[in-house]
Amino acid sequence: MGKQRTLREKVSFRGQGLHTGQQVEMTVHPSGPDTGISFCRADLDPAFKVRVAVENVRQDEMRQTALVVGTGMVRTIEHLMATFHGLGIDNAVVEVMGDELPGMDGSAIEYVRTFQQIGLTEQAAERRIFEIKEPVYVDQGEQSIMILPSPGLSVSYTLSYKDQDLSDQYLTLSILPEIFERELAPARTFCLKKEAEYLLSQGFGKGANVQNTLVFERNLPLENKLRFENEACRHKIMDLLGDLFLAGFVRGHVIAVRSGHALNLELVRKIVMQQKPNSAPLPEAFGVQEIQKILPHRYPFLFVDRISHFVPGVSATGYKLVTMNDYFFQGHFPDHPVLPGVIMIEAMAQVGGVIMLGKPENRGKIAYFMSIDSAKFRAPVVPGDELRMEVQVIRNRARTGQCVGRAYVGEKLVCEAEVKFAVVDK
């Protein structure tokens, strides 16, 4: 497995954010064993550090991966995260003056060369590697991503924009530090000319130009030259490695077809759910009678039938079987019954309540809503569907808790939201 590694000394970078266009400064510090990768916003609260984890990621329309850090965010972390992953850097603290990392030349090569120049140091602790034991996949029709058991880490990527401005590309690589440096780190971010025009019209890409971004038209970059014939595909693999490192070092073979950040993160969430049963034994699933011992809700406002994968204060999966006998179908589109979106949010919140109130110190208390954020409804839910709600705590304090929930029917994501609770005495 090898030993964990960090930087020999701190190093700073300056540059313009690709999306915000703001000048930002970033300093990467060495960090102790088993501390992982953490980010802090030095311009807001340098004492507040967030360890990278998928539950702390906020997706937005900017086509990048952003981390929630205190009262702010740090956007476009994927190139730096890919560098940590590709070079085998386990522990570091990233201090940022601004809300986006510097875009450099649109690739990770400057990060790689600078880290190698200052050097890496081996630490006493053993590296933790999660070995994929069974396939994990996300399938959205023409887009898919999976990871299969494999003795090492490798990635196979198929890029297909189905557009005359960018031809289909395919590449498969084993991921080792020397391969990452040579084959992936120099690959620059890219888009189609029509995409660039749209992003600019929406106020994004303010720091992008034809030097730090490959803007494709008729299968060639405007005012630039390719470093690789399939540079776009290589950059997609680099982005994927950055997103995958949210789950830490993983051993498996990733096969991706037309995937981007959103699909990558769904795979990471499923990998993390696989990891947790191995870190601590889970209690057995329980049904509605036990749920009623934790939650104050009763018919007709109890929307969770059973719970599985229950870790108090951490995570749980809840289930609700949607039937035509549910009372709300009498008035909610009675000729075309669809589960109300607010019911899905409430059901996920009730699973979050079970997680929070299932902790011994919170038994007998009540969880009140404080806020609902980032609610999105992806597909209708109808009678006969079973709603599966995967909920994780992203912030847990003495009197408050914040959860992120995703509801599925089968493997189809139908709803997602973040909810915040106040935990109070009755």
pLDDT of 259 above 80? yes
What does the mean pLDDT of the chain come to? 90
Q: What is the pLDDT of residue 425?
A: 73
Verify whether residue 332 is a known catalytic residue.
yes
Catalytic residue (choose from 19, 85, 261, 336): 261
Q: What is the pLDDT of residue 273?
A: 76
Categorize the per-residue pLDDT at 279 as very low, low, confident or very high, splitting at 50, 70 and 90: very low
Q: What is the pLDDT of residue 71?
A: 83
Query: Which contiguous run of DSSP H or E holds residue 3?
Result: strand 3-7
More reliable by pLDDT, 129 or 293: 129
Instruction: Please name the fold of domain 3-126.
Output: Ribosomal Protein S5; domain 2 (3.30.230)
Q: What is the pLDDT of residue 59?
A: 62
Other beta carbons within 10 angstroms of residue 352's beta carbon come to 29
Q: What is the pLDDT of residue 278?
A: 41
Segment 42-57, tens digit of pLDDT: 999 888 888 998 888 8
Mean pLDDT of 11-38: 93
Q: What is the pLDDT of residue 206?
A: 78
Distances (CA, A) of 333 to 232, 286, 326, 339, 345: 46, 33, 13, 9, 18
Categorize the per-residue pLDDT at 128 as very low, low, confident or very high, splitting at 50, 70 and 90: very high
Distances (CA, A) of 193 to 45, 120, 197: 39, 39, 6
pLDDT of 254 above 50? yes
Distances (CA, A) of 389 to 3, 157, 234, 241, 405: 37, 30, 35, 27, 7
The answer to whether 384 and 341 are in contact (CB under 8 A) is: no
Instruction: Please name the fold of domain 286-424.
Output: Thiol Ester Dehydrase; Chain A (3.10.129)
What sign does the CA torsion over 48, 51, 56, 62 have? positive
pLDDT of 205 above 80? no
Catalytic residue (choose from 85, 235, 332, 336): 332
Segment 307-359, tens digit of pLDDT: 998 888 888 999 999 998 888 888 888 888 999 999 999 999 999 999 988 87
Segment 73-100, tens digit of pLDDT: 899 999 999 999 999 999 999 999 999 9
Domain ranges of the chain: 3-126, 130-279, 286-424
Categorize the per-residue pLDDT at 281 as very low, low, confident or very high, splitting at 50, 70 and 90: very low
Mean pLDDT of 110-125: 97
Q: What is the pLDDT of residue 398?
A: 67
Q: Sheet containing 143-148: give its strands across.
A: 136-140, 143-148, 253-257, 154-159, 169-174
CATH, domain range 130-279: 3.30.1700.10
Segment 415-425, tens digit of pLDDT: 999 999 888 87
Written as one letter, the residue type at 166 is L
More reliable by pLDDT, 48 or 183: 183
Q: What is the pLDDT of residue 283?
A: 55
Mean pLDDT of 23-41: 95
pLDDT of 5 above 70? yes
Q: What is the pLDDT of residue 282?
A: 39
Other beta carbons within 10 angstroms of residue 360's beta carbon come to 7
Mean pLDDT of 103-107: 94
Residue labelled with tokens 């887009």: 143
Q: What is the pLDDT of residue 126?
A: 94
Categorize the per-residue pLDDT at 284 as very low, low, confident or very high, splitting at 50, 70 and 90: low
Verify whether residue 29 is a known catalytic residue.
no
Core vs surface per residue 268-284: b (16+ CB within 10 A) or e: bbbbbbbeeeeeeeeee
